[in-house]
Structure 1
Amino acid sequence: MATYRIGVLRGDGIGPEIVEATVAIIAAAAEHAGTTAFDFVSLPMGWEAIEKHGEPIPDVTKEALLKCHGWIMGPHDSSSYPAEHREKRNPSGELRHHFDLYANIRPSKTMAGIKSVVGEADLVIFRENTEGFYPDRNMYAGLGEYMINPDIAIVNGVFTRKAAERIAHAAFRMAMQRRRKVTIVHKANVIRLGYGLFLDTCREVGKQYPEVTVEDYHIDAMAAHLVRRARDFDVIVTTNMFGDILSDLAGELVGSLGLAPSINTNDQQAMAQAAHGSAPDIAGRNIANPVGELLSTVMLLDWLAERHEDRELYQVARLAENAMTVTMQEGICTADLGGTASTTEFTEAIIQRIRQSPRNGEKGV
């Protein structure tokens, strides 16, 4: 039986609730499958870490994550941190920078029983995660922005061929497993050197995947196209800021940003992280929706299954995902989706569905 060491960073706001729900569901799926085991390692992050270690992401957490196959990260409420911590990278930005998690992969897919603004859609956004106009991530030292006087702020945007090449390869590899279409999103008509380099590099990479159809759009046009015809898109590759904005838009168009999953990866590690925030206004009320965090963790398991060529781990991911889907189709869901279930009731319903599922070799009823 394979055992995977998974770091668990509960975070702030609703983070502890949705991460605990996710861990319970994944653990139940592994137990039911009987072919995979998880060693969940709790690590401090956010307010918990500030109170215990004086930093939102202490060195002890980073060192422990190096020994993990992957990790689950809850949302953070960095805007409420003490001033000295707000001036630094937020926890997710720090981990992306520290571990060079260059690909932020964010799927948006319509789900049965969830109202979609755009009808049927199934797309994946590959967001370059290390540079662009996010100044806290694009510098070796310093934060990449400064004020030359109280009325003028300057922000440096960084675009490199290396970063564009590796996110493009990741996107094209995914397209080869899907509908073989890649859309490059940029603003090369205005920011000609920076976005021009990104666009040209992505197109050069695309020549190595002749089976894949390649197109490109300016960011403003792409936002409109997503609203009008989201179903036409397969894999979208873009820069840091544009990917952040487009993925939030796409998540809301197909149902709710609260359902939107994502993982952050390099070639050796992956971090599951729901696209939504920490929702401090509902923290501790047992009404938070764990679907985004759960689906992010399912993505993490799929990533690990591919990396380790572990078919059993892939089956654990399907068991958890299918149980969640059936539970929601039965009308058991949290209030944000029109249901009446609490977080714990929704979680327990999914776990019960897992336990009722046929094991390998058994016939369903």
Structure 2
Amino acid sequence: MQQQAGDTEREQKMKLCVISGDGIGREVVPQAVRVLHRLLPALQTVTADAGWDTFRQQGTALPAATLAAARDCGAVLFGAVSSPAYPVVGYRSPIVQLRRELGCHANVRPTLSLPGSGAAEGIDLLIVRENTEDLYVGEEQSDGDTATAIKRITRAASRRVAETAFRLAQDGGRRRVTIVHKANIMPLTDGLFRDAARDVAAAYPQIAVDELLVDTAALKLAQAPQGFDVLLAPNLYGDILSDLAAAFGGGLGVAASLNLGSEAAIAEPVHGSAPDIAGRGIANPVAALLSLALLLRHWWAQPALAASLEQAVRRTLADGIATPDLGGDASTAAFCDAVLVRLDLD
């Protein structure tokens, strides 16, 4: 992203709120932070609690102290959380709540062809998902026979995420943005999103723009993910399409994301808490590491350090060092040790 007001303050502040969460989040997050400290020796870290275990201990999945720490730091690394398999009174998803409270309006999900991950060749796409509204506003009602959910789309939120998508495309040297919608069926809601994105696109004449209905986009993504550059989508479609794209990038274990706003950013590896392997020290830290690279590039305006981290991860995988989910035998800590050896800090 281009240098914006507040970037200098962020660079000087260099604080990170570290929320490990549940399950393997407690294993990958500390190891990823260990690598980040090599890149940013002056980084201040503040640990905070969130998740299902926190809810059971404190009665809330996102304590006020955690939210205050996240606001103070501006930058957050959020590991993974478990969710109850049944409705629990008072439980709310802490990551969804944190995104909203911090105003992180865009979810940025790259998919890359990483060596040794089983990824398809030649993929380098970015999905930018609106992060605050659509069906995810959580307004539902039911009389027991009929259930209704509110789909809310606003021009302001649609323009805001479109601005982020086109700015990221421009700054990253990308050439095309595909607007995803279903305006043929929902002309008022999806039509508003599409039209707001088109309005923003007019200010970026150097970037080609096309649009696809979401079902067609899913088909084309499954057939040839290499054909996409940047996809811009409302919340629900972006959520689904980004997980579909991850299947071609080596799976959720290596899928990074960044929740981006004007006042805060949350680096969030996409994988879950994986209770089946939690505590064994074999969880894959790649998603956490690459999420931190996104934080370095797009929040702290440190593209050289971000590139160094990304290249170190790629070199580690290319050298055949991997955790068991990718067919290797490295532990979480051993993989991060190998990344540290391959960091280029010259």
**TM-score (norm: length of structure 2):** 0.92
Supply the distance in 1 between the matched residues of 2:56 and 2:68 (Cα, whole angstroms).
19
1:171 to 160, 165, 168: 165
SS at 1:205's partner residue?
helix
Provide the residue aligned with 1:155 in structure 2.
Answer: 149
Q: Is the 8 A contact 1:18 1:289 kept in 2?
A: yes
2:61 aligned with 1:59? no
Q: Is the 8 A contact 1:174 1:235 kept in 2?
A: no
1:15 to 8, 22, 25: 25
- Across the aligned residues of Structure 1 and Structure 2, the Cα RMSD in angstroms comes to 1.7
Provide the residue aligned with 2:78 in structure 1.
Answer: 73
Q: Is the 8 A contact 1:47 1:81 kept in 2?
A: no
Supply the distance in 2 between the matched residues of 1:57 and 1:255 (Cα, whole angstroms).
31
Provide the residue aligned with 1:92 in structure 2.
Answer: 95
Greater shift after overlay, 95-104 or 316-325? 316-325
SS at 1:55's partner residue?
coil
SS at 1:50's partner residue?
helix
AA matched with 1:155: A
2:281 aligned with 1:271? no
SS at 1:64's partner residue?
helix
Q: 1:151 to 1:82 in 2, by over 3 A?
A: closer
Q: 1:316 to 1:194 in 2, by over 3 A?
A: same
Provide the residue aligned with 1:310 in structure 2.
Answer: none
Provide the residue aligned with 2:112 in structure 1.
Answer: 109
Supply the distance in 2 between the matched residues of 1:22 and 1:69 (Cα, whole angstroms).
18
Provide the residue aligned with 1:233 in structure 2.
Answer: 228
2:335 aligned with 1:346? yes
SS at 2:84's partner residue?
helix
- For residue 48 of structure 1, report the CA deviation from its aligned partner: 4.5
Supply the distance in 1 between the matched residues of 2:291 and 2:86 (Cα, whole angstroms).
25
Q: Is the 8 A contact 1:273 1:293 kept in 2?
A: yes
Supply the distance in 2 between the matched residues of 1:346 and 1:113 (Cα, whole angstroms).
13
SS at 2:300's partner residue?
helix
- For residue 208 of structure 1, report the CA deviation from its aligned partner: 1.2
Q: State the identity as a percent.
A: 39
Provide the residue aligned with 1:120 in structure 2.
Answer: 122
Provide the residue aligned with 1:334 in structure 2.
Answer: 323
AA matched with 1:60: A
Supply the distance in 2 between the matched residues of 1:84 and 1:350 (Cα, whole angstroms).
43
2:216 aligned with 1:214? no
AA matched with 1:23: V
2:29 aligned with 1:27? no
- For residue 29 of structure 1, report the CA deviation from its aligned partner: 2.9
Provide the residue aligned with 2:177 in structure 1.
Answer: 182
Output aligned runs, 1:254-333, within 5 Å.
Answer: 254-306=249-301, 313-333=302-322
Q: 1:131 to 1:82 in 2, by over 3 A?
A: closer
AA matched with 1:79: P
- For residue 52 of structure 1, report the CA deviation from its aligned partner: 4.7
2:247 to 252, 258, 276: 252
Gaps of 5+ in 1: 32-36, 137-143, 307-312, 361-365
Q: Is the 8 A contact 2:52 2:84 kept in 1?
A: no
Supply the distance in 2 between the matched residues of 1:81 and 1:7 (Cα, whole angstroms).
30
SS at 1:320's partner residue?
helix
Supply the distance in 2 between the matched residues of 1:81 and 1:52 (Cα, whole angstroms).
18
Supply the distance in 2 between the matched residues of 1:129 and 1:318 (Cα, whole angstroms).
26
- For residue 82 of structure 1, report the CA deviation from its aligned partner: 7.7
Gaps of 5+ in 2: 1-10
AA matched with 2:158: A
2:200 aligned with 1:205? yes
Provide the residue aligned with 1:363 in structure 2.
Answer: none
Larger Rg, first or second structure (1 or 2): 1
Supply the distance in 2 between the matched residues of 1:318 and 1:120 (Cα, whole angstroms).
18
- For residue 180 of structure 1, report the CA deviation from its aligned partner: 2.1
AA matched with 2:269: A
Query: Cα deviation per residue 1:101-149 (whole Å; 9 max; x = unaligned)?
Result: 11000011111233234x311110010001111133xxxxxxx00102x
- For residue 51 of structure 1, report the CA deviation from its aligned partner: 4.7
Q: How many residues matched?
A: 335
